[in-house]
C-alpha cells in the first residue's frame, strides 16, 4: 500500500459528538459528551467504543450503542489499572528486596559489579542502566553513599531502591549462579524460570498501567509461564495460550498471598467487576471462575 499525505482537518468537540451521532451512537446529553471528549481525547475513548462497532470499515455502531456505556467501560478500565498497578507495586518492592538480600549474602555487597556472576552479553548494558538510575536519583541515601565510598556504585541493597521493575527483570534474567537464582525464587514458592517469566510479564503489564493505556481487553505480547508443579495452588489454573489479563490477575493475587497475606485484592476485584458488570470474556475469564477455590479462599 502506498503512502499519501494526511489531509484530515482537526475537529471541534461539538463536531466529534456530531460525528459519533451520525455513526449511530446514542448521546443523550451532547454537552456532557463534549465535556468528556475534552477531558479524555477522542482517540483514547475510541479504543473503548471499538467493541461496539457493527462495522470497523464504516465505523458505524450497533443499534442501541450509548455514549454512557462507552464512558462506563473507560471508567472501569481506569479503576482496573489502578488496582493492578497498586498490586504490582507491592510485588515489585518484595522482589527487589529478595534480589538484593540474596545476592548480597551469596556474593557480597557489590555483587552487581562482578561481571562473572552475570551473562557477559548483558552485564555492561545492565550496569550502564543501573548507573544512569543512580545518577538520576535525588535520594539522600544514594547521595551519601556516592559521596562517602570509593566503589563506583552503592551496595546492592541501596541500588535496588532506584531500579525499575524492568531493570530488575533484566538483572535476574542475566544472573548465572543457579543456587542464587533458586534462593531468590524460593520465598515465593516458584522455580527460577517461572519467576523470570513472571518478572518479564509483570514489567510489561506495569508499563501498560503506568502509561494509562487500555488494560481490560489488551493482548499482551509477553505472557507469563504456567507453573508445572509449583506453586501447586496455580497448577492448571492459568488459561492455556491466553494473552489476556486473567492470567495476570491469577499470578499477582498468588504473589500477594505470599507477600502481603492480609491483602484485599480478591475482594476489591470482585467488587469492581460486580459494580460495572463488564463482560469478562474480553479478559479471558473462565465462565466458572468464581467457583474456583483459588478465588473463594481468603489469603493464607
Q: What pLDDT digit, counting tens, does each position of 87-130 carry?
A: 999 999 999 999 999 999 999 999 999 999 999 999 999 999 99
Same domain, yes or no, for 263 and 233?
yes
For residue 3, tell me if it sits in a domain. no
Q: Strand, coil or helix: what is 118?
A: strand
Q: Where are the beta strands (DSSP E) in the chain?
A: 53-55, 60-61
Q: What stretches in the chain show pLDDT beneath 50?
A: 299
Say which residue the cell 484530515 belongs to.
Answer: 8
Same domain, yes or no, for 46 and 137?
no
| Residue 225 near residue 235 (C-beta atoms within 8 A) | no
Say which residue the cell 551473562 belongs to.
Answer: 119
Question: Which pLDDT score is estimated for 36?
Answer: 97
Question: Which pLDDT score is estimated for 298?
Answer: 63
Same domain, yes or no, for 137 and 28?
no
For residue 268, report the phi and psi dihedrals to the nearest 5 degrees: -65, -40
Question: Which pLDDT score is estimated for 93?
Answer: 96
Say which residue the cell 538520576 belongs to.
Answer: 136
Same domain, yes or no, for 42 and 161?
no
Question: Which pLDDT score is estimated for 2?
Answer: 83
Question: What is the span of the domain harbouring residue 147?
Answer: 75-296
For residue 4, tell me if it sits in a domain. no
Question: Which pLDDT score is estimated for 178?
Answer: 98
Same domain, yes or no, for 128 and 277?
yes
User: Which of left, alpha, beta for 212 (phi over 0: left; psi -120 to 50: alpha)?
Assistant: left
For residue 175, tell me if it sits in a domain. yes
Same domain, yes or no, for 247 and 132?
yes
Cis before 19? omega within 30: no
- Say how many domains are in the chain: 2
Same domain, yes or no, for 106 and 187?
yes
Same domain, yes or no, for 157 and 39?
no
Distance (Å) of CA 174 to CA 7, 53, 194: 48, 45, 14
For residue 287, report the phi and psi dihedrals to the nearest 5 degrees: -60, -40
* Separation of alpha carbons 258 and 145, rounded Å: 32
CA 240 to chain centre: 19
Same domain, yes or no, for 268 and 127?
yes
For residue 86, tell me if it sits in a domain. yes
| Residue 92 near residue 206 (C-beta atoms within 8 A) | yes
Cis before 231? omega within 30: yes
Same domain, yes or no, for 45 and 91?
no
For residue 237, tell me if it sits in a domain. yes
| Residue 115 near residue 174 (C-beta atoms within 8 A) | no
Amino acid at each position: 500500500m502506498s503512502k499519501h499525505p494526511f489531509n484530515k482537518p482537526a475537529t471541534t468537540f461539538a463536531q466529534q459528538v456530531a460525528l459519533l451521532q451520525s455513526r449511530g451512537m446514542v448521546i443523550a446529553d451532547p454537552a456532557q459528551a463534549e465535556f468528556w471528549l475534552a477531558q479524555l481525547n477522542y482517540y483514547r475513548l475510541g479504543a473503548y467504543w471499538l467493541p461496539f462497532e457493527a462495522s470497523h470499515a464504516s465505523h458505524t455502531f450497533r443499534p442501541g450503542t450509548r455514549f454512557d456505556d462507552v464512558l462506563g467501560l473507560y471508567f472501569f478500565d481506569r479503576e482496573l489499572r489502578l488496582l493492578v498497578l497498586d498490586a504490582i507495586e507491592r510485588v515489585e518492592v518484595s522482589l527487589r528486596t529478595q534480589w538484593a538480600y540474596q545476592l548480597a549474602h551469596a556474593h557480597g555487597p557489590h555483587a552487581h559489579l562482578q561481571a562473572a556472576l552475570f551473562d557477559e552479553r548483558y552485564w555492561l548494558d545492565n550496569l550502564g542502566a543501573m548507573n544512569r538510575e543512580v545518577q538520576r536519583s535525588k535520594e539522600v541515601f544514594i547521595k551519601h553513599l556516592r559521596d562517602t565510598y570509593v566503589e563506583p556504585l552503592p551496595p546492592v541493597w541501596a541500588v535496588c531502591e532506584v531500579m525499575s521493575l524492568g531493570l530488575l527483570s533484566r538483572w535476574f534474567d542475566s544472573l548465572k549462579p543457579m543456587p542464587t537464582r533458586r534462593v531468590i525464587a524460593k520465598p515465593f514458592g516458584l522455580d527460577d524460570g517461572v519467576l523470570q517469566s513472571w518478572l518479564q510479564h509483570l514489567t510489561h503489564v506495569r508499563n501498560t498501567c503506568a502509561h494509562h493505556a487500555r488494560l481490560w481487553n489488551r493482548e499482551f505480547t509477553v505472557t507469563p509461564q504456567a507453573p508445572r508443579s509449583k506453586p501447586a495452588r496455580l497448577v492448571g489454573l492459568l488459561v492455556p495460550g491466553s494473552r489476556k489479563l486473567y492470567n495476570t490477575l491469577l499470578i499477582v493475587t498468588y504473589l500477594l498471598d505470599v507477600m502481603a497475606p492480609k491483602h484485599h485484592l480478591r475482594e476489591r476485584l470482585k467488587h469492581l467487576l460486580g459494580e460495572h458488570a463488564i463482560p469478562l470474556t474480553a479478559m479471558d475469564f473462565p465462565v466458572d471462575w468464581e467457583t474456583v477455590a483459588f478465588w473463594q479462599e481468603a489469603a493464607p
